[in-house]
Amino acid sequence: MTLPEIKTPLPGPKAKALIERDAAVVSPSYTRGYPLVIKRASGASVEDVDGNVFLDCAAGIAVNATGHSHPDVVRAITEQSQRFLHMSGTDFYYDVQVRLAEELAAMAPIDGGVKSFFANSGTEAIEACIKLARYATGRPNIIAFFGAFHGRTMGALALTASKPVQRRGFGPFMSGVFHAPYADCYRCPLGLNSENCAAECLDFIDHQLFMHLVTPEEVAAIVVEPIQGEGGYVVAPTQFLERLRELTTRHGMLLVVDEVQSGMGRTGKMFAIEHANVKPDVIAIAKGVASGLPLGVAVSRADLMNWPPGAHASTFGGNPVSCAASLATIKLLKDSLIANAAEVGGHMKAGLKALMEAHPLIGDVRGRGLMLGVELVRDRTTKERAIQERDAVVNAAFRRGLLVLGAGKNSVRFSPPLVLTREQADTAVRVFGEALSEVEGGRV
């Protein structure tokens, strides 16, 4: 498919008809930013029902790690489907789940033996992490961070502190959750800059939470994203993650790392936490782990996962077809796609940074590998958030055939399939620049 190629006004007539049908029967809670109605896709290209072709830098919200319908993944899915579709790993055994657990144990950056609990999604993986942390430590409380997104089920939602709309109307929330400032060096909560900040925002935990609200001995775990996803693609400094590891170790807490969006090769390493060389106790995995099939995993130190039969389970978690897709995905990541994410991601980041010279809307470009964020501001000195402009840029990019998504209040995320080429990255940067020019010219 030629990239991109827009043949009709968007949405086209067929897309418009399906969107009208959707409105009558589908929950309005879904966050559709623009009217894309997909018909088919391959690699990093997407064709809609009206024949318009788009360059995909969203990847199903960072899910399609190996690109759309990679033939090796499709082959693995087909072969497993012909054997059997489901048998429930909660009650029975099958080889493909064990092989996947062995792969995860070999590659997880966790000291000692590793065991896995299989679920269906990122939020379910976080729920498992919460329950495991409480069970393994005998402590009731959890610390998370402002700006965090850990999911929308009730336990995960209590940890989530990204946008009020995600929590509004659903309280009361799970008790025992406390929030601390995240190390956003572009918008430091202490007013420092990256040159003189040694992750002092973590002092909030010692000097405020532990002084006024909860003792360390009552905290089971601290849960953190190495790169905040929904929070704006904010990259945690290495010192912040190192100090978190020291803090949790000192107080006998678990360090739980949410790699749902940042894991599986997206940052140029299998897991984003590896950039800091920090070894967590538990990792939540989902999204890119099975190239589009539903799968979530909580992996932990083996000595922690000692809960008895029936303590936690999932009928569909670790579905054999999803496990087969995951094994094929991991092989592709190891063979070439992690390296491609690092190489093409570095090239794309340089291209996005170069746009800053011509586009004052860009306040910051950040990220690792093919997990890149562009924060838009109305003024680079005051850093006033360009919230409406961000939405306008995303939609202007869509009209030109580029699929990107917002993140946080005013950032644009680039999370393309890890098969993205340098040429496609250049096209994405060019089209994004055109979208910026349109919005800057009309200034919403």
Domain boundaries, the chain: 13-70+336-442, 71-333
Question: From CA 171, how far away is CA 168, in angstroms rounded?
Answer: 7
| 254-258: strand order across its sheet | 114-119, 296-301, 282-285, 254-258, 219-224, 141-145, 177-180
pLDDT values of the chain reduced to their tens digit, one per residue, 444 residues: 568 999 999 999 999 999 999 999 999 999 999 999 999 999 999 999 999 999 999 999 999 999 999 999 999 999 999 999 999 999 999 999 999 999 999 999 999 999 999 999 999 999 999 999 999 999 999 999 999 999 999 999 999 999 899 999 999 999 999 999 999 989 887 776 665 566 788 889 999 999 999 999 999 999 999 999 999 999 999 999 999 999 999 999 999 999 999 999 999 999 999 999 999 999 999 999 999 999 999 999 999 999 999 999 999 999 999 999 999 999 999 999 999 999 999 999 999 999 999 999 999 999 999 999 999 999 999 999 999 999 999 999 999 999 999 999 999 999 999 999 999 999 999 999 999 999 999 865
Q: Do domains 13-70+336-442 and 71-333 have the same CATH topology?
A: no
Question: From CA 400, how far away is CA 234, in angstroms rounded?
Answer: 27
The CATH code of domain 71-333 reads: 3.40.640.10
The amino acid at residue 427 is T
Whole-model pTM above 0.75? yes
> Residue 92: which region, alpha, beta or left (left: phi > 0; alpha: psi -120 to 50)?
beta
391: three-class secondary structure by DSSP = helix
Question: From CA 160, how far away is CA 148, in angstroms rounded?
Answer: 5
The CATH code of domain 13-70+336-442 reads: 3.90.1150.10
